[in-house]
Amino acid sequence: MQNDVLIKRDLFKSVAINESNPKYEMCLQRLHPLSHKPHDIRTPFDRDLTRILHSSAYRRLKHKTQVFFATNNDHVCTRIEHVNHVASISKTIAKAMGLNVTLAEAIALGHDLGHSPFGHHGERIIEDIMQNHGFEKKFWHEKNSLRFIDLIETLPNYAGFKENLNLTYAIRDGIVCHCGEVNENYLKPRDEYIDLTKIEKGKYMPFTYEGCVVKISDKIAYLGRDIQDAYNYKFFDKKDMMLLKQIVQNTLKQKIRFKDVNTSSLIHEFIINICANSNLEHGITFSKEYYEMMNEIKKFNYQKIYLNKRFKPFMRYAKLVLEGIFDFLLDNYASFNTIYKLKKYQKFYPTLTNDFTDWLIKYSNIDDKLHSIRKYRNKIIYDIQNQQDYKQAILDYISGMSDSYAIKAYSELIEF
């Protein structure tokens, strides 16, 4: 569709995060020193990319909802496919622009590590639970992803001790600032080096251009893929597809026929357009027509997919599952005796009782001796004597679940 497009390669090379960039040393900062073997040939961002790939949170993404929940169809997009789409798009754009490809890929692969089960509806359920139980803060998966990479996810070090992921500032920043729902066309990184734990949703640009690339790639990735899955599930028919093509045609005001609106065609068009129109003066940007087209497609998706009444049974079920798990675990709170109280139900509810007991041992002060014996060297984040901390432990545990795991745990609660 884009005739005679001029792509100026390496246009952003001067601002890439490498040793010549004034931000480089700040981008490499970690919360704690990271142990390493001698003669490691990887860069710090290469190491972080590997740590993300090896994390349990990354593996759980294959069973987390993107849009269509707990599907048995191997060809429907799950959260892990989505992050890999984002990584692929981010790498392509970063390479063309001369940015740090590894940094962009690592941010992309890690950007949804803290996403809830059951997609965005799961987020809303968790937020409702929080508001009903005295939490003033809101739940948003970008901040929860930062929480998971900083405090929850662990990997064994070279001595076998399980330590927090401890990623670099640039990757932590790109993850917490990635929100692809924000409607902005001109993306330029902020200059301030700030405490990422205090960031508010949608109020900060990433610290790097690589983070900006991931931010826009997130939106590029989901628009077309969601259309493809929705069409396969008969959420709309051929007339709707013709309407979508007409939206694209009218927006672009071109006579060239758009043969098909699908994942591949949309990703290609958006990538080429953003590479042709971005520059150091305006930042990462689409042309006016393509930015308008993106927003029109997003409106179409909301009307035909995300707000579709066919999701209502799923929404009711997801609410039962997550609230049921939360209520059961909260009912069994007994300060330092919580583990013993949970063990009474071990025969009936082995998934919840065993796994949540392990969670408390790993992340709370309920059993310091066992914490040490298991070679945990992660930060203790819950005081078991504080009921609000205990509630937070349940919420963290739930937010990390895959759809299938949550369903399994809830099924045990309702079977006799």
C-alpha radius of gyration, the chain, whole number: 23
Amino acid identity, position 84: N
| Local confidence band at 203 (pLDDT 50, 70, 90 cut-offs) | confident
Which has more pLDDT, 89 or 249? 89
From the list 240, 106, 257, 82, the residue with the least C-alpha distance to 173 is 106
Q: How high is the pLDDT of residue 107?
A: 98
Task: Please report which helix (H) or strand (E) contains residue 273, including its range.
Answer: helix 263-277
- In the structure, what pLDDT confidence band is assigned to residue 187 with cuts at 50, 70 and 90? very high
**Band of the pLDDT at 224, cuts 50, 70, 90?**
confident
Mean pLDDT along residues 241-249: 86
What's the mean pLDDT in 196-217? Answer: 93
Mean pLDDT, rounded, for 246-251: 83
pLDDT of residue 256: 54
pLDDT of residue 4: 53
Is the pLDDT assigned to residue 57 strictly greater than 60?
yes
Q: What's the CATH number for 13-34+41-113+153-234+263-287? A: 1.10.3210.10
**Per-residue model confidence (pLDDT) at position 35:** 78
Look at the block and give the residue holding tokens 């006579």. 255
pTM of the predicted protein model: 0.94
Question: What pLDDT, on a 0 to 100 scale, did the predictor assign at position 182?
Answer: 57
Size of the chain, expressed as the number of residues it contains:
416
What pLDDT is stored for residue 251 in this prediction? 78
9 band by pLDDT with thresholds 50, 70 and 90? confident
Q: Which of 60-69, 82-91, 348-357 has the lowest mean pLDDT?
A: 60-69
Residues 191-201 pLDDT 10s = 999 999 998 88
For 333-346, what is each residue's pLDDT tens digit? 999 999 999 999 99
Comma-separated ranges of CATH 1.10.3210.10 domains in the chain: 13-34+41-113+153-234+263-287
Closest by CA position to 363, among listed 330, 389, 341: 389
Distance CA 240, CA 226 (A): 14
For residue 145, pLDDT beyond 80 = yes
pLDDT at 370 over 90: yes
